[in-house]
Structure 1
Amino acid sequence: MEDKLMDYSYFQINEQALEVVFPEQINVEENKLVQQVSQKLIEEETTGVTGVIPAYHTLTVNFDYDLTSFKLLEGQIDSLIASSSGENMSVKRIVELPVCYDEEFGPDLEDVAEFASVSVEKLIKLHTGTDYFIFMMGFLPGFAYMGSVPEQIAMPRLKVPRKSIAPGSVGIAGAQTGMYPVESPGGWRLIGRTPIQLYDRNNPVLKYKSGDYVRFKAVSKSEYYDIQKQDQSGNYTLKTITEGGDIND
């Protein structure tokens, strides 16, 4: 753990919420620490803690002031940060997500390729050649903020957002990439779409979570529709890989 990641401070939001603030940066190691501390606060049923909200470089902790205090929680969080900083953070759980990179599904595909001065084929290789870390969930149910895309293809978001984006659309916004789990407005550059239903309000259990990695796998249009049909019938399972461990099909 780098010393700069141990440089953090506390901010009392109100009588029943505090925020742990780390250096403002998009950093995988730092975010893993945020998520580990968040998870331990819940798993260890820390007295008085009613909820946690991990983000890129902050952790918001909600608490019951009748059961604990700002100062008491500060000491407990200090201990969790100290113990978590020595743990192994190298294990990766990777979710492999099929994506069809076709103009029908990716209206910004050619624009991003032109921005990067590469062919569409090369753009697809660049986008699928990186495992993307999920820093946080937000904006929409199941929307994962992931990074970082190769700098060459890190095209800024649209100046005027689209009014409607189809579920499953995969986009780029600067160094970030992500998938729209439900129909929504949005300004990310759309380069493809996954046939997998990412969010179901009747069964809101997600296929990925903060701290996971997502690996995009390019599929053809015919494969897209075949996978979509399997997924809709409940006969498709995403491949998950534990780095250095088992592969589950």
Structure 2
Amino acid sequence: MDYTYFQISEQSLVVEFPEQINVEENKLIQSVARELIADNAVGVTGVIPAYHTLTINFDFDLTSYNDLVNQIDEIISNSNDQTTTGRTIIELPVCYNQDFGPDLQDVADFAKVSVDELIKMHTSTDYFIYMMGFLPGFAYMGSVPEQIAMPRLEVPRKKIAPGSVGIAGAQTGMYPVESPGGWRLIGRTPVKLYDPANPVLKYQSGNYIRFKQISEQEYADIQKADANGEYELNVITEGGRNDG
């Protein structure tokens, strides 16, 4: 796979792959990031994986740009020889209705389908988590069926409730905390996605999210159980080596 290096500061470099939203490419980026952290690579102080880039911060007193490039080249070469067929899928319950998803009808109209058909389309795909940001626990995932890939709102909302599930072009994702945002909201999960008192996330880059439609009563029941620490997300591991 083709890639290029750019040194963006004395102590930072970027590995850039072809500009695309591609699962296999992103898996490689995340694999390199994990290897650098897991191996305690000398001089590496941080890694930031994104859709098609990997930013690496390093201490130039402990390593050099050229040494780091050589190490990354070796990791990528070894990664190309490995097969990753396993998947970790987190099943996330979502209530799709007009109160929780004010853009539900607009997205259905955009796709020229009924609301029920839209929900079926959104829940029929397992979504790969390409990267995390712009909020703690915000997962950038893709790709939704092209027919429902409605662009962002022209004017973002000033306040979006935690747990809201939205679409922005080919991407889908969940707002883990209250935030402004311009994604098209189609539903909401009752599960608390991020807790600053316990910031360990229930999912990470490389996992898959599978949305499961629930009723309003199920939403209320799960929300109560989750608040009491009595609700566990369903996690499915499919053979081979896990991506997450």
Could you tell me the TM-score, scaled by structure 2's length?
A: 0.97
Residues 1:30 and 2:25 aligned together: yes
2:189 pairs with one of 180, 185, 194: 194
Task: Tell me, in whole angstroms, the C-alpha distance in 1 between the residues paired with 2:79 and 2:227.
Answer: 40
CA shift, 1:87, in A, is 1.4
- 1:133 touches 1:213 (CA, 8 Å); kept in 2? yes
RMSD of the TM alignment (CA)?
0.7
Offset at 1:30?
0.1
Amino acid in the other structure paired with 1:37: V
Return the match for 1:47 from 23, 42, 45.
42
Which one scores higher on RCO, CA 8 angstroms, separation ≥ 6? 2
Kept in 2, the 8 Å contact 1:19–1:61? The answer is: yes
Gaps of 5+ in 2: none
Letter in 2 for 1:143: F
Tell me the alpha carbon deviations over residues 174-206 of structure 1, each in whole angstroms, 9 at most, x when there is no partner.
Answer: 000000000000000000000000000000000
Match of 1:144 among 139, 148, 154: 139
The answer to whether the aligner puts 1:21 opposite 2:21 as a matched pair is no
User: What letter matches 1:190 in structure 2?
Assistant: L
SS at match of 2:81: coil
Structure 2 counterpart SS, 1:29: helix
Identity %: 72
Matched letter for residue 157 of structure 1: R
Instruction: Give the corresponding residue for 2:124.
Output: 129
Alignment partners' CA distance in 1, 2:15 and 2:85: 23
Give the Cα separation in 1 of the matches to 2:25 and 2:78: 14
The answer to whether residue 72 in structure 2 is matched with residue 60 in structure 1 is no
Runs in 1 of length 4+ with deviation above 4 angstroms?
A: none
Matches within 5 A, 1:1-249: 6-244=1-239
Unmatched segments (≥5 aa) in structure 1? 1-5
- Distance in structure 2 (CA, Å) of the matches to 1:90 and 1:17: 32
